Amino acid sequence: MSENTDTQTQSQTANTSRSADVHGVNPYVFVVGCPRSGTTLLQRMLDNHPLLALANDTHFIPRVLEKTLPAALDDALSGRPVPLTPELAKAVRGYHRFSRLELSDESVKGAIDRSSTYGELIGHLYGELARREGKPLAGEKTPDYVRHIPLLNALCPQARFVHIYRDGRDVALSLLQWATATKGPGRFKLWADEPMAVCALWWRWLVSAGRTAGAGLGESLYIEVGYEELVDQPSHMLTKTADFLDLPMTPDMLSYHEGKMRTDKGLSAKNAWLPPTAGLRDWRSQMPSRDVELFEALAGDKLETLGYQRSVNTISPEVNSIARECRTWWDANLARRRCRSSKTKHGANGSGKLTAD
């Protein structure tokens, strides 16, 4: 037997031994991040781990509570249990993306019957997901949860968070093709006039929300993963992520795409199930100079904080003026959102949905 084969066998034996000791409370982990930042890539990698199942984009945990019992949000954030009322249980089952958990009616009913609080129900549901997949652990990938980390932590205090981020200029290129009037940053009225400004401000807002909340959780519950590093050094970054999750590194995470790749023309990288592929977006060659300048005027500080270099040394007076106007609009919009949210929680209206003005 060669030295390499012997080493591989020893590693597999160590992983098998370690997996026997794996235990945790579900939901075990949430993968979050600004949409178009590589959350699906990371979800597919982690979901292919033999010990962990990750649901995809159900959104239901905060949204059902916001819509059904908005007044209970303060209780949850304060650490007080939210009683599982029949209305809340019905809303969970009826939420339009809840079916993405792919649980049987019997499993869902059993989870509800065993729960007295909303937090308990969430735990039992992901426990059912783990059992369905034949794995001990389960979690969720929903990018938008990046702005709900405090609530998720209050409801599921044992859950860990993996926040993946990407160069915002490449994110913006993707958002320009992905967003619509009813999806993502395209819902904001400013999108019609200055879509790149909305991309910059939205990306900055979500990344900042995740990092601020994560700093309060500490390194045992929160980790950040750079998309570019994940693509360039997948084995290294997955080992780092697996260590954070107290899971053995396994080659399965790197082979998530095997047997699933498609070669049809016109497919996106996501739908084609590509392996980690660098250069899918390149703002340096694909983004107009005016858009680069505007993005960096609005979010250049966040780029630098994350280790990305600015490309514009001096912002022109014209772009600076546009950036100031857009930032003023954005700040006023967020203030209105917070006001509506506060009124909703205290019963001033009947809708928990926050709209984009």
Give the pLDDT of residue 23. Answer: 67
- Band the pLDDT of 22: cuts 50, 70, 90: low
Task: Please tell me the pTM assigned to this model.
Answer: 0.89
Give the pLDDT of residue 355. Answer: 42
- Band the pLDDT of 13: cuts 50, 70, 90: very low
- Band the pLDDT of 263: cuts 50, 70, 90: confident
CB 357 within 8 A of CB 188: yes
Higher pLDDT, 353 or 60: 60
Alpha carbon of residue 97 to chain centroid: 15
Q: What is the mean pLDDT of residues 183-206?
A: 97
Q: How far apart are CA 297 and CA 349, in angstroms?
A: 37
Higher pLDDT, 112 or 259: 112
Give the pLDDT of residue 93. Answer: 97
Phi/psi for 206 (5° steps) reads: -70, -45
Give the pLDDT of residue 346. Answer: 59
- Band the pLDDT of 24: cuts 50, 70, 90: confident
The three-state (H, E, C) secondary structure of the chain, written as one string: CCHHHHHHHHHHHHHHHHHHCCCCCCCCEEEECCCCCCHHHHHHHHHCCCCEEEEECCCHHHHHHHHHCCCHHHHHHCCCCCECCHHHHHHHHHCCCHHHHCCCHHHHHHHHHCCCEHHHHHHHHHHHHHHHHCCCEEEEECHHHHHCHHHHHHHCCCCEEEEEECCHHHHHHHHHHHCECCEHHHHCHHHHCCHHHHHHHHHHHHHHHHHHHHHHHCCCCEEEEEHHHHHHCHHHHHHHHHHHCCCCCCHHHHHCCCCCCCCCCCCCCCCCCCCCCCCCCCHHHHCCHHHHHHHHHHHHHHHHHCCCCCCCCCCCHHHHHHHHHHHHHHHHHHHHHHHHHHHHHCCCCCCCCCCCC
* pLDDT tens, residue by residue, 118-138: 999 999 999 999 999 999 999
Q: How far apart are CA 324 and CA 201, in angstroms?
A: 12
* pLDDT tens, residue by residue, 39-93: 999 999 999 999 999 999 999 999 999 999 999 999 999 999 999 999 999 999 9
CB 104 within 8 A of CB 140: no
Q: What is the mean pLDDT of residues 100-113?
A: 97
Ordered domains of the chain (ranges, CATH): 25-244+251-345 (3.40.50.300)
Q: What is the mean pLDDT of residues 306-317?
A: 97
CB 50 within 8 A of CB 252: yes
pLDDT at 12 over 90: no
Q: How far apart are CA 63 and CA 89, in angstroms?
A: 13
CB 70 within 8 A of CB 99: no
Q: What is the mean pLDDT of residues 237-256?
A: 97
C-alpha distances in angstroms, 312 versus 194, 289, 294, 296, 300? 19, 9, 10, 7, 9
pLDDT at 3 over 70: no
